[in-house]
Amino acid sequence: MIEDKVYTVSQLNKKVKNYLDENYELREFFLEGELSGVTYYKSGHLYFNIKDKDAQVKCAAFSYKFKKIPEDLKDGDQIRLFGDVGFYEARGDFQILVRHIQKQDKLGQMFANLEKIKKEMEKAGYFDMDKKKPLPRYPKNIGVVTAITGAAIQDIIKTTKKRDNRINIYIYPAKVQGVGAKEEIVKGIEVLNKIPEIDMIIAGRGGGSIEDLWAFNEKETAMAFYKSKKPIISAVGHEVDFLLTDLVADVRAATPTQAIELSVPEKDKSKEEINGKVKYLNSILLGYIEKRKKELERRKNNYYIRNFIKMIEERNQLLVDREKTVKSLMVLNLTKTKNEFDKRIHKLVNLNPMKILERGYSVVSSENKVIKKLEDVDINEVIDIKISDGIIKGIVKEKIYEENTD
């Protein structure tokens, strides 16, 4: 049986808040609708409802002036807000925590056009992560496109020198808002790309209204970021939304200061990191050397190493003995082979027909035919008698048969 779940009000409200806080879909979203119950408080907070024809929800914009939220909002205004779902546990209030508000007039049309451009560029692959270039690990020369009189350039210079005063900064002064801003930003990126020693580029500005930042939402500006041959950071001081340049740049920074923090390692920390790696490598090297020394000592005390000279002498003596043995065997073998050869020569000599003739024998032939029997020759036939030193010519006068004595 399932036990009944019993909560206190505090426990329930806590669970609801945790659920809402952990739900990513209920964070950082846009909401469009009509204002009602707009109330500005002296405390610096703004409360209102946003509604459509079927429903409404409470909204709170704390410290609205610091968020550059308009101070002339009124009931009936059509707005587009950016915020998160919030839940106030103590009262069980569900509300939208507002970060930014835009009136839906000319700006609304601008956003509609921007969304169309975003979809086109996304489909063409301009936002793909595999096309992002990595930042250099230790940049030496950084190019910056921003307003020369703005706070952004001062923050960049100050932060860079604080982190690593060896880095050089190349500044291309450009308008970053208003008429002509996008053209100057594009030109600045193109010029800095032509300077060989520059390792990377930062293009951006400090915060402002969305209208002030709009030059970085222009397609021409975004394409200049995309076409940059050098790694480029989009560094515009805003947190509300991703500008078009944020999507095409190799890296997006929330502010110009953060751009430096992302790209310039702190010199002291880098030294510590390098020193740590050196110590680590030295320890490995020393350990390796110590291991090799022990191995060398072990081999030095090895029987074969300690008796190396003696073993060489013994091997040399063994080699000499074997050489003598081999020479003796060779002489014996040659002698045996010579004796065998002499015997064969002697036997061949004795089998020579001339030797037989020298012992008193002769060969009788007629017309090159050897006569072996009396019947092989006729009376008065001319015969040749071969003896050891010549041939005797004769004529058969008589054939005498001998009786067989066997």
Q: What tens digit of pLDDT does each residue of 169-207 get?
A: 999 999 999 999 999 999 999 999 999 999 999 999 998
Q: What tens digit of pLDDT does each residue of 27-48 get?
A: 889 999 999 999 999 999 999 9
3-state helix, strand, coil in the chain (%, to 5): 45, 20, 35
Amino acid identity for residue 285 in this structure: L
pTM above 0.85, yes or no: no
CA angle 391, 396, 397 (to 5 degrees): 135
| CATH number belonging to domain 113-265 | 3.40.50.10550
- Between these two residues, 66 and 403, which has the higher pLDDT value? 66
Query: What pLDDT, on the 0 to 100 scale, is given for residue 235?
Result: 95
Closest CA to 219 of 248, 239, 241: 248
Closest CA to 220 of 245, 188, 251, 200: 245
Reported confidence tier of residue 264, pLDDT bands at 50, 70, 90: very high
Query: What pLDDT, on the 0 to 100 scale, is given for residue 382?
Result: 85
Q: For 54, how many CA atoms within 13 A lie in the half-sphere containing its CB?
A: 0
Q: What tens digit of pLDDT does each residue of 94-150 get?
A: 999 999 998 876 667 788 889 999 999 999 999 999 999 999 999 999 999 999 988
Three-state SS for 335?
Answer: helix
Query: What pLDDT, on the 0 to 100 scale, is given for residue 1?
Result: 47
Reported confidence tier of residue 6, pLDDT bands at 50, 70, 90: confident
Distances in whole angstroms, Cα of residue 357 to Cα of each of 57, 138, 253, 365: 147, 112, 125, 14
Reported confidence tier of residue 10, pLDDT bands at 50, 70, 90: very high
User: Under 8 Å CB-to-CB from 34, ≥6 apart: which residues?
Assistant: 50, 51, 52, 76, 77, 78, 79
CA distance 143 to 159: 15
User: Under 8 Å CB-to-CB from 28, ≥6 apart: which residues?
Assistant: 82, 83, 84
User: What token pair was written down for 109?
Assistant: 């049309």
CB 264 within 8 A of CB 160: yes
Comparing 159-168, 214-223, 279-288, 355-364, which segment has the lowest mean pLDDT?
355-364
Q: What tens digit of pLDDT does each residue of 352-370 get?
A: 666 666 666 778 888 878 8
CA distance 188 to 380: 139
Sign of CA dihedral 248, 254, 255, 260: negative
Three-state SS for 358?
Answer: helix
* Alpha helices, DSSP H, located in 265-307: 267-300, 303-306
Query: What pLDDT, on the 0 to 100 scale, is given for residue 277?
Result: 75
Mean pLDDT value across residues 383-404: 81
- For residue 57, pLDDT beyond 60: yes
69-107 as b/e: b if 16+ CB within 10 A? beeebeeebebbbbbebbbeeeeeeebbebbbbbebeee
Query: Taking the domains of the chain in order of start, what are their residue ranges?
Result: 9-103, 113-265, 305-348, 357-395
Query: What pLDDT, on the 0 to 100 scale, is given for residue 77?
Result: 87
- Between these two residues, 300 and 50, which has the higher pLDDT value? 50
Question: Strand 56-61 to strand 93-103: parallel, antiparallel, or no bridges (unpaired)?
Answer: parallel
* Matching residue, tokens 């408080």: 41
Strands (E), 119-257: 141-146, 168-173, 200-205, 232-236, 251-253
Query: What pLDDT, on the 0 to 100 scale, is given for residue 210?
Result: 83
User: What token pair was written down for 182?
Assistant: 């996008």
CB 203 within 8 A of CB 178: no
Q: What tens digit of pLDDT does each residue of 301-354 get?
A: 776 666 777 778 878 888 888 888 888 888 888 888 888 888 887 777 666 666
Query: Maximum distance among all alpha carbons in the chain?
Result: 175
CB 233 within 8 A of CB 203: yes
CA distance 134 to 132: 7
What is the pLDDT of the chain when averaged over all its residues?
87
Query: What pLDDT, on the 0 to 100 scale, is given for residue 365?
Result: 83
| CATH classification (class only), 9-103 | mainly beta
303-332 as b/e: b if 16+ CB within 10 A? eeeeeeeeeeeeeeeeeeeeeeeeeeeeee
CB 191 within 8 A of CB 172: yes
- For residue 269, pLDDT beyond 60: yes
Query: What pLDDT, on the 0 to 100 scale, is given for residue 280?
Result: 81
Provide, rounded to the nearest whole percent, the portion of the chain with pLDDT above 90: 48
Query: What pLDDT, on the 0 to 100 scale, is given for residue 294?
Result: 82
Mean pLDDT value across residues 223-240: 91
